[in-house]
Amino acid sequence: MKKTIFKGAATALVTPFKDGAVDTAAFGNIIEEQIVSGIDALVICGTSGEASTLDDDEHIGAIEFAVKTVNGRVPVIAGTGSNDTRHGLNLSKRAEAAGADALLVCTPYYNKTSQNGLKTMYALFADSVDIPIIMYNVPSRTGLNIEPQTYAYLADHPNICAIKEANCNFSKIAETFALVGDKLDIYSGNDDQTVPILSLGGKGVISVLSNVLPAETSKMCRLYFEGDVSQSAAMQLKYVPLISALFSDVNPIPVKEAMFLLGKCTPELRLPLVRMSAEKAAVLRAELVKAGLDVKN
């Protein structure tokens, strides 16, 4: 059995911007608040971190900053996937050198590949670094699904350790669990499916919700692992309206707005992302308040 990277909730952290640049002051404060709140791991430069709009120096700089700020308190997982495998490999090697504990590698987007291409690509990533790889399957963004048989093939690689699964097809997810056994840890990639994934044997969630509710998202997982399934499920259901509001526009538009409303950072996004409508923002604000959060803006 491979070593588990984390168990519980990892936040797919936003990247705060100010006047066009990464706002390291806000970034540092957000990271500290996450750790104090009991988050189990942090994902830097993932989709929620607007990684595709960061240049390489910003990308690696954000990882270096997070590693230094975290200082070993929780695992730092760096997003390094790309539609250009050479580019992704370069980012991966630089992220490893920056001190990342693991890598989150999405399937290639736009220039989609075959299942054989996925096998070749992920094996190359895993052969190129000495830190573990989490495969990220998100067909809604990439138009490409990692099939259970492909997971089973890759599960034998010693450096491929986990899956962030966001394909929403529970029949496929169950088949994957059955095929890979304990060779791969599986994390939910969708906040509204955390407890269902745990019920199949998942190790936790890579979460957008935990940007605003880190303690609660971690607790939801912990309760399940402790055997209190009913309370864990109750938390899952309690936060369904907030989760819906956080995905009422293209991620990370709503969560960046939420962080602004909570006074954590500016609402600044990078094109092609733009701020959500006033109507959707009002619904989001109301759900933040209902969740007991202190809305400042």
Q: What does the alpha-carbon distance between residue 17 and residue 29 come to, in Å, rounded to a whole number?
A: 13
203 is catalytic: no
Of the candidates 122, 151, 153, 164, the residue annotated as catalytic is: 164
CA dihedral of residues 14, 99, 20, 35 (deg, nearest 10): 40
Give the position of tokens 């490999």.
89
Question: 148: which 2 tokens?
Answer: 């259970």
Beta strands in 143-184 (DSSP E): 160-165
Do the Cβ atoms of 49 and 62 come closer than 8 Å? yes
**Structure token pair of residue 99:** 């001190």
SS3 (DSSP) at 115: helix
With H, G, I as helix, E, B as strand and everything else as coil, classify residue 5.
coil
Query: Among 124, 120, 133, which Cα is nearest to 164's?
Result: 133
Cα–Cα distance between 245 and 257 in angstroms, integer? 11
119 is catalytic: no
Secondary structure of 9-60 in HEC code, one letter for each residue:
EEEECCCCEECCEECHHHHHHHHHHHHHCCCCEEEECCHHHCHHHCCHHHHH
Which residue among 122, 136, 187, 224 is the active-site one?
136
- Reported as type and span, the H/E element at residue 21 is strand 21-22
By annotation, the residues acting in catalysis are: 136, 164
